[in-house]
Amino acid sequence: MQTDKKTLFSAAQPSGLVTLGNYLGAIKNWVALQDEYNCIYSIADLHCLTVRREPKELRAKSLELLALYIACGVDPEKSCLFLQSHVPAHAELTWILNTLTYPGELSRMTQFKDKSLKHADNVNMGLMDYPVLMAADILLYGAEVVPIGVDQKQHLEITRDLAIRFNNRYSETFVVPEPIIPKVGAKIMSLQDPAHKMSKSDPNENSYIAILDDEDTVIRKFKRAVTDSDNSIAFSDDKPGISNLLTIYSAITGETIAAAEERFAGKGYGEFKIAVGEVVASALAPIRKRTAELLSDKAYLDEIMKKGAEQASYFANKTLSKVYRKVGLYSPERKK
């Protein structure tokens, strides 16, 4: 890592489809941040175990997500890419942080409440402990900044609380991370219900765009996107459907929302939806092609995973050793 750069950490779960919302809200921004920060990007496979998964599918999705990262522009030569489960320090630090975490603050977490409702037959301690593992993910690497969506603020807050709590009890150890919330594309909404975030778990497949959707599918889904009662293409709180499409168009093209409003002034909703679909399909086509190429070379992806795990382990274990010493865990003296 370069000492003149701040360290940035982020992770995503290999829990199914990667949507346009995931891409615009996270992965696309990761690419842009690589030259500015020391970037550490993890595939959070341990987090996936909080709900029941088909083991074979989880392994396949982990590999696919790694390929997608690279296809989207995350460079293994610039950034550290690894699977969370390949670095045992994540689970080890979680246990230490658990001793500083109160059940009440975990039970109040919005995601725990939501997932408990969705998976009422499998409300496990991992589901509740999710934020502590996320805190360990971040704190292991001394990350000064964490790119997050607006809906993830609560999880970063508990990470900050645990870092401060540990530092106050055992002396200065952890960096207290700050959030980076992208100004554009931070939260992409459902194409069918723009009051809710775009989600791969939505039973209506027309509500989301998957990164690996083909061109015809992308355009068809945008044609079916919910808009609003009038026919003006303008960003407004009372026009959530059109505002969501303008946000997507702006995030994909780099054009400001104001410029997009001017470009489509006087145009109908139908024409606008097709235009948004076309720019999205065009942006996703090379990612889809590159992902397929990478998945055909499993040896290359395995090598990237191995190298990334070695890099991540070096930094994670340094932090963990310091933590173990601070809390009083005994370690034999090493010969110099």
| Cα maximum dimension of the chain | 76
**Alpha carbon separation from 185 to 99, 114, 213, 270, 336 (Å, rounded):** 37, 23, 19, 22, 52
Alpha-helix residue ranges (DSSP H) falling in 2-75: 20-22, 28-33, 55-71
Tokens of 240: 């959530």
**φ, ψ dihedrals at 123, nearest 5°:** -85, 95
| Rounded Cα distance, 19 and 11, in Å | 15
> Is residue 226 within 8 Å of 218, Cβ to Cβ?
no
| Rounded Cα distance, 296 and 306, in Å | 18
Nearest to 271 by CA among 210, 222, 217, 237: 222
Return the residue matching tokens 């709180």.
Answer: 237
- Determine the residue type at 123: V
Residues marked active site are found at: 115, 197, 200
DSSP assignment string, 271-289: HHHHHHHHHHHHHHHHHHH
